[in-house]
Structure 1
Amino acid sequence: MRRSLPVGVLVGVLLTLLVVSGFLPSERGSNDATPQAAEPERAAPLRVAIVGDSLSAGRSRFLGNGLDDESWMRYAEGDGIDFVGGWAKSGATPTEMADAVRPVGRVDVLVVLAGTNAVRTGHSLAQEASAYERIVATVRPTKVVISSIPPYRWHAAAALRYNADLRRFTIEHGWSWADPWVVARDGDDWAPGFSTDGTHPAGPEQYAALGDSFRRIILETRGLPSAV
């Protein structure tokens, strides 16, 4: 005598056959049919140029020799930031930078770190203001970041005045004001160990910290309107 299969078993077998033959959607097939949101396109790297003095020039004292372990841009570039050039030389005032800088193609963000040597030579921002305008006009970036100058132990009060005037000047022009020296400052002076000469970061470790600070500042410009 043949024994019949239980009804529940028969139903399970039939459902399996229907899924395999394609008459019923399997769970996997149902998910596959659901439209998937496309992955957002990764933003193109920001093309960044810099103009400055020894604080940006590196160990060789001239940016044209390339980035080295005392170039803050070495630590800022990569993964969203492309360094495309600029001009920086030890001892240069903003006026000397404006005279020397040349266009470097398309620039998304221009970072200008200039003014310590203006203070060193007794110049006020009023005497150097047009130099910043000429630098921007030459490079023609989409966005402009003007950096504060660091503590200057030998002319501390003059450096503070220059920074205050430079900040107002930057805001009046619709540019972005940045203070990357938060990591290096203790009050109005250098943080202990960050500078040995009272003018520059002490070495590669300190320039790396400065580069990390600038990197955050540069990447944040993605959300800012164009200023030029």
Structure 2
Amino acid sequence: MGDSITAGGVPILGPGTGGDLSWISAARGPLLEFRGGWAIGGATTADMRAAATPMDADVLVLMGGTNDVLLGRRWEQVQGDLRAVAAIVGARAVLLSAVPPSDALPEATTGFNDRLRTLAAERGWQFVDPWTGVTQEGAYRPGASLDGVHPTQRAADEAGAVIREVLLDGGVG
């Protein structure tokens, strides 16, 4: 489940894997089966909650909140949405991802990711920050973003490789 960062320019509404700028392309490969999901540009965690459906999956990879931060949604709302998505999907495990850097709101994004890390620990979920290689004080490193919100292909691929590594490492599920 995700927003434009996961969709990569092409909505994911089932088994599709998104566009070229999605991190999913680099996460897929031998030993991992992508069963589909949902990701739409501009989506908030409330949108994800409304779209969530039960799935037969070992792991739910959940990357949501970029638009919530941009819109100034309250953490209590976002946290409730993320918990609900995980409950509705019903995967055996949850990998909660940090949101990517934000050139416009670096401090808000850093604080939001700290809250995501705490939520994951409280819920017994795995947490991953696949953006550490492209982040500088909450903003994108020069050349890592197309517009201060969305990663370049290289940055998306790096994030996907980190997510893949965590999934294959056995720490999830």
TM over 0.5: yes
SS of structure 2 residue aligned to 1:82: coil
Q: Name the residue aligned to 1:218.
A: 167
Matched residues in 1 for 2:7 and 2:124: separation?
A: 26
After superposition, the CA RMSD in angstroms is 1.5
Q: Which deviates more, 70-79 or 82-91?
A: 70-79
Cα deviation per residue 1:155-210 (whole Å; 9 max; x = unaligned)? 222212211112111111111111100121123321221113111102x3332222
Q: Name the residue aligned to 2:158.
A: 209
Cα deviation per residue 1:29-72 (whole Å; 9 max; x = unaligned)? xxxxxxxxxxxxxxxxxxxxxx0100001222x11254332121
Q: Name the residue aligned to 2:26.
A: 75
Residues 1:128 and 2:74 are matched in the alignment: no
Q: Kindly tell me: are residues 72 and 117 of structure 1, through their superposed partners in 2, closer, same or farther at Cα, counting changes over 3 Å? A: same
Post-superposition shift, 1:223?
A: 4.2
SS of structure 2 residue aligned to 1:197: coil
Post-superposition shift, 1:122?
A: 0.7
Give the partner amino acid of 2:96. Answer: I
Q: Name the residue aligned to 1:150.
A: 100
Structure 1 length-normalised TM: 0.70
Q: Name the residue aligned to 1:58.
A: 8
SS of structure 2 residue aligned to 1:208: helix
Give the partner amino acid of 2:77. Answer: Q
Give the partner amino acid of 2:117. Answer: R
User: Structure 2, unaligned stretches of length 5 or more?
Assistant: none
Match of 1:177 among 110, 115, 127: 127
Q: Name the residue aligned to 1:164.
A: 114
Structure 2 length-normalised TM: 0.91
Give the partner amino acid of 1:147. Answer: S
* Runs of 4+ off more than 4 Å: none
Residues 1:91 and 2:42 are matched in the alignment: yes
**Percent of pairs identical after alignment?**
34
Q: Name the residue aligned to 1:8.
A: none
Higher relative contact order (CA 8 A, sep 6+): 2
User: Structure 1, unaligned stretches of length 5 or more?
Assistant: 1-50
Q: Confirm or deny: 8 A CA contact 1:190 1:198 kept in the other structure.
A: yes
Post-superposition shift, 1:139?
A: 1.1
Q: Confirm or deny: 8 A CA contact 2:120 2:126 kept in the other structure.
A: yes
Aligned length: 171
Matched residues in 2 for 1:76 and 1:166: separation?
A: 21
Q: Name the residue aligned to 1:113.
A: 63
Post-superposition shift, 1:103?
A: 2.0
Q: Kindly tell me: are residues 223 and 128 of structure 1, through their superposed partners in 2, closer, same or farther at Cα, counting changes over 3 Å? A: closer
